[in-house]
């Protein structure tokens, strides 16, 4: 952080009573945002510094809270400088608890309960589309632009780019429901709030990329996690729990939507790990590549994913479906 930016941040903290608070930087993630825990201020708080606009974060936080769910309160904001003071939910993410051998069923049940409430409510205004077109663009930006040349040794042709786009539109367009989707609803972005009850017990964070899309996408994010294994029995039970809470859904249609959302997400994210390695110098994410490719293969077994399966079978040999050659030595970094 440059001196000018540091002065702006100091002034922001001073103006809201946190000037004397001790600061403890939190570990970074795959984004460019920085979080700092503020100790000794008037409230438990985090400083969020974002290179991207903070207005979407603020709007989604207030929408989630309006539904009686738990999102961090916005304590102060300077949108022009990308600065927010937000409520500090602590360190008890579902991911940390699972890593410490917490009983998975209770945590996933809390997450599903909150997700059903989030999906049942009408979305707030101003959300971008997470539709077939947006999902196809996002997939091309990782799979074609980064994974393909690294794994296959050459960039995709114009015809191959068009073919992937057509395949993704074919599988995704039938599932164009326009409701709220978090887009990164998985244990690292969920918190156990011991002093709250019901669906409010699940704190929801990292939601600034929320959009209008199909609710199956969020359930896939949770139960077909790119970063951790979920037992098949637990996954099946939680899909059943979600559908029981949303009785108006056509179950066969929803399960087909889960398959196509899973295929798109796993293909995009498997390639995203390559971009994070090659472009951003974050090779440790490659360890998740094999899981994503395995989940992709499982999703491609569903009849609803046939156009995408046929595209991959025509252009991507099965022996190449994994981290690019040369990345293996970094998989365990």
Q: Could you report the per-residue pLDDT of 204-215, keeping only the tens digit for each?
A: 999 999 999 999
User: Do 98 and 80 sit in the same domain of this protein?
Assistant: no
User: Do 266 and 228 sit in the same domain of this protein?
Assistant: yes
Q: Domain residues for 58? A: 3-87
Contact 207, 236 (CB under 8 A): no
pLDDT value for 176: 87
pLDDT value for 23: 96
User: Do 43 and 113 sit in the same domain of this protein?
Assistant: no
User: Do 81 and 100 sit in the same domain of this protein?
Assistant: no
User: Do 73 and 100 sit in the same domain of this protein?
Assistant: no
pLDDT under 70 in the chain at which residues? Answer: 1-4, 28-31, 327-333
Instruction: Retrieve residue 28's tokens.
Output: 């970074």
Instruction: Read off the pTM.
Output: 0.92
Contact 245, 116 (CB under 8 A): yes
Q: DSSP state, 2?
A: -
SS3 33: coil
Q: Which of 87, 118, 141 is the last residue of a domain?
A: 87
pLDDT value for 29: 63
User: Do 55 and 115 sit in the same domain of this protein?
Assistant: no
**Strand-pair partners of 84:** 48, 77
* b/e 188-226 (16+ beta carbons within 10 angstroms → b): bbbbbbeeeeebbbbbbbbbbbbbbbbbbbbbbbbbbbb
Give the Å distances, CA to CA, from 249 to 182, 206, 242, 255, 302: 19, 27, 10, 10, 19
pLDDT value for 32: 75
pLDDT value for 1: 52
> What CATH number is attached to the domain comprising 114?
3.90.1200.10
Q: Which of 87, 110, 134 is the last residue of a domain?
A: 87
User: Do 117 and 76 sit in the same domain of this protein?
Assistant: no
User: Do 203 and 181 sit in the same domain of this protein?
Assistant: yes
Q: Which of 47, 64, 87 is the last residue of a domain?
A: 87
User: Do 107 and 79 sit in the same domain of this protein?
Assistant: no
The chain-wide mean pLDDT, for the chain, equals 94
> What CATH number is attached to the domain comprising 67?
3.30.200.20
User: Do 112 and 28 sit in the same domain of this protein?
Assistant: no
pLDDT value for 42: 93
Between CA 150 and CA 155 the distance in angstroms is: 8
**What's the number of CA atoms in the CB half-sphere (13 Å) around residue 315?**
24
**Count of the separate structural domains present in the chain:** 2
Over residues 244-282, the pLDDT tens digits come to 999 999 999 999 999 999 999 999 999 999 999 999 999
Between CA 274 and CA 287 the distance in angstroms is: 10
User: Do 182 and 323 sit in the same domain of this protein?
Assistant: yes
pLDDT value for 332: 41
User: Do 113 and 14 sit in the same domain of this protein?
Assistant: no
């Amino acid at each position: 952080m440059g001196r000018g930016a540091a002065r702006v941040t100091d002034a922001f903290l001073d103006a809201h009573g946190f000037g004397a608070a001790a600061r403890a930087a939190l570990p970074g993630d795959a984004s460019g945002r920085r979080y700092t825990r503020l100790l000794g201020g008037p409230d438990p708080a985090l400083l969020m510094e974002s290179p991207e606009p903070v207005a979407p974060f603020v709007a989604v936080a207030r929408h989630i809270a309006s539904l009686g769910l738990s999102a961090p309160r916005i304590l102060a904001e300077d949108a022009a400088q990308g600065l927010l003071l937000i409520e500090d939910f602590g360190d008890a993410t579902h991911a940390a608890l699972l890593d410490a051998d917490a009983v998975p069923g209770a945590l996933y049940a809390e997450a599903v309960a909150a997700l059903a409430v989030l999906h049942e409510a009408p979305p707030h205004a101003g959300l971008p589309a997470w539709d077939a077109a947006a999902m196809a663009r996002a997939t091309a930006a990782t799979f074609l632009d980064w994974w393909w040349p690294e794994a296959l040794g050459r960039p995709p042709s114009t015809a191959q780019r068009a073919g992937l786009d057509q395949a993704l539109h074919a599988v995704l367009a039938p599932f164009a429901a326009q409701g709220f989707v978090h887009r990164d609803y998985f244990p690292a972005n969920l918190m156990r709030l011991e002093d709250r009850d019901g669906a409010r017990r699940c704190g929801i964070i990292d939601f600034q990329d929320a959009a209008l899309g199909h609710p199956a996408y969020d359930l896939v994010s949770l139960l077909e996690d790119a970063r951790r294994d979920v037992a098949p029995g637990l996954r099946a039970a939680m899909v059943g729990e979600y559908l029981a809470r949303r009785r108006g859904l056509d179950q066969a249609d929803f399960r087909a939507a889960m398959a196509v959302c899973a295929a798109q997400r796993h293909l995009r994210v498997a390639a995203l790990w390559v971009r994070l390695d090659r472009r951003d110098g974050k090779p440790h994410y490659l360890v998740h590549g094999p899981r994503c490719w395995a989940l992709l293969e499982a999703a491609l077994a569903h009849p609803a994913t046939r156009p995408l399966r046929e595209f991959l079978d025509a252009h991507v040999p099965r022996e190449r479906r994994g981290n690019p050659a040369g990345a293996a030595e970094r998989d365990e970094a």
